[in-house]
A and B are shown apart, each in its own frame.
Chain A
Amino acid sequence: MADDDIILSELDDDDLVAQMFDDLYDGLKDEIEEGVHILLGRGWAPYDVLTKALVAGMKIVGDDFRDGILFVPEVLLAANAMKGGMTILKPLLAETGAPRMGKMVIGTVKGDIHDIGKNLVSMMMEGAGFEVVDLGINNAVEKYLETLEVEKPDILGMSALLTTTMPYMKIVIDTMKEKGIREDYIVLVGGAPLNEEFGRAIGADAYCRDAAVAVETAKSLVARRHNQGVTA
């Protein structure tokens, strides 16, 4: 809770981080931005602020979302608060060459403008320490392939809300196969009308039923690839 009488700058580091967990949970963007500035001002490395305050805090949000305690509106607010913190940290992380969990290119498929789920995945992935290149909505296969070529991510994420647009994911994956690049990437798919069977049928590596599952699946598959010595 962001009680009016709590002065963030007066809290010691442990209490401040605990308070930031609460503020993330409550979606308080201004307080998160303030907390990030305070920790940086105390000499924290940007990577430590990311992992120990934001990522750890978003883990609680993600777990409660997965367990049905938090719902989409609350997670959107939490993710938006985290994004405020990330905006401050991003340039600093780039400057300091901080390690990262992996990189993801994500977007909704051609003909589909529904991006709530995609945005949640994008924000939760950033909250878990991944670098995310968000292509936004309505992406043709050419856009996906061009971005894969430039960004060289570990993961391609595709999202669709409509029964009429979800088959487009197969077009993207089939084109990747034709070009011989399918195995260079982990392909995750998601969206309300999808299911595991559909994910398997189109040749994705996994179907993720929500943003929390997407993060866990991404972590697990990226770790497996790294263990196998595969790099994009």
Chain B
Amino acid sequence: MPAPSDRILTEAGLAPRGEGRLLVIACGALAREIIAIRDANRMTHLDLQCLPAILHNSPQRIPALVEAAVLEARGRYETVFVAYADCGTGGLLRATCDRLGVAMLEGPHCYSFFEGNDIFAEHGEGTTFWLTDFLARQFDAFVIRPLGLDRHPELRDMYFGNYEKLVYLAQSDDPALTEAAREAADYLGLEFERRATGFGDLASAIAALR
């Protein structure tokens, strides 16, 4: 089954099929990647549920919504795994998962686990603005419109004046996406760099699920 459109993944997420013994509850921004990992590993026992990816912009809502999804899945699956890293929840998602007895992804966010948590930790955030495949495709929905740059482009430097570089962490080899990311960097007035990461630590974390 292919992933739904980015717009649906952004705003509504993805409902589980209700089949399989393993449920992965993920950010909608990871749907394509997790489906690809599942298919590559023939993980027919894996069912995927995604919360709306736009929660990226209001991370304080993530722990409660993940908890509701985990409780909803109780009794329906043998195992539930949460495919979120900390994602700006300040440790609250980790505390929620620990309390519920479910495992989750390691690392501060998807930029880190796509690049590899160890590598990312070495250089840190610095003055870099990060994009992934999903965010490169959804730059308008996640950056331009929520920050009001469509209505007030003069705010750009108030938001991005401290950044120096935009790094596109590429999960796929898609010239159109690279171009979109480069355009995003130009729009923000930042240097551009592309790093091919593939699925990074996400691949091993999902493939290891039984």
The interface of chain A, by Cβ under 8 A from chain B, is: 27, 71-74, 76-77, 80, 111-116, 119, 137, 161-166, 192-195, 198
Contacts and interface: CB of A to CB of B under 8 A. Distances in A.
B155 A113 contact: no
A163 B91 contact: yes
Contact of A76 (B108, B158, B163): B158
Contacts, number: 61
10 contacts: A27-B152, A72-B148, A73-B151, A80-B158, A111-B124, A119-B158, A161-B88, A166-B90, A192-B60, A192-B88
Contacts of B124: 111, 164
B47 to A, nearest CB: 29
B59 interface: yes
A119 B155 CA distance: 13
A163 B127 contact: no
Interface of B: 59-60, 86, 88-92, 108-109, 124-125, 127, 147-149, 151-152, 155, 158-159, 162-163
Contacts of B108: 162-164
B152 A77 contact: yes
Given A192-B90, A195-B60, A198-B91, 19 more contacts: A71-B148, A72-B148, A73-B149, A73-B151, A73-B152, A74-B148, A111-B125, A113-B127, A113-B162, A116-B158, A116-B159, A162-B108, A163-B91, A164-B108, A165-B125, A192-B88, A193-B88, A195-B90, A195-B92
Nearest to B148: A73
Nearest to B152: A73
Contacts of B159: 116
Contacts of A193: 59, 86, 88-91
A147 to B, nearest CB: 19
Nearest to A27: B152
Q: Which 3 A-B pairs have the closest CB atoms?
A: A73-B148, A193-B90, A113-B162
A163 B163 contact: no
Contacts of B86: 163, 193
Contacts of A198: 90-91
Contacts of A194: 90
Nearest to A113: B162
A63 B166 CA distance: 35
A114 B148 contact: no
A113 B158 CA distance: 12
B163 to A, nearest CB: 7
A107 to B, nearest CB: 12
Contacts of A164: 108, 124-125
Nearest to A108: B162
Contact of A73 (B60, B92, B109, B147): B147
A77 B159 CA distance: 12
Nearest to A77: B152
Nearest to A80: B158
A193 B86 CA distance: 9
B121 to A, nearest CB: 8
Given A193-B59, A193-B88, A137 B152 contact: no
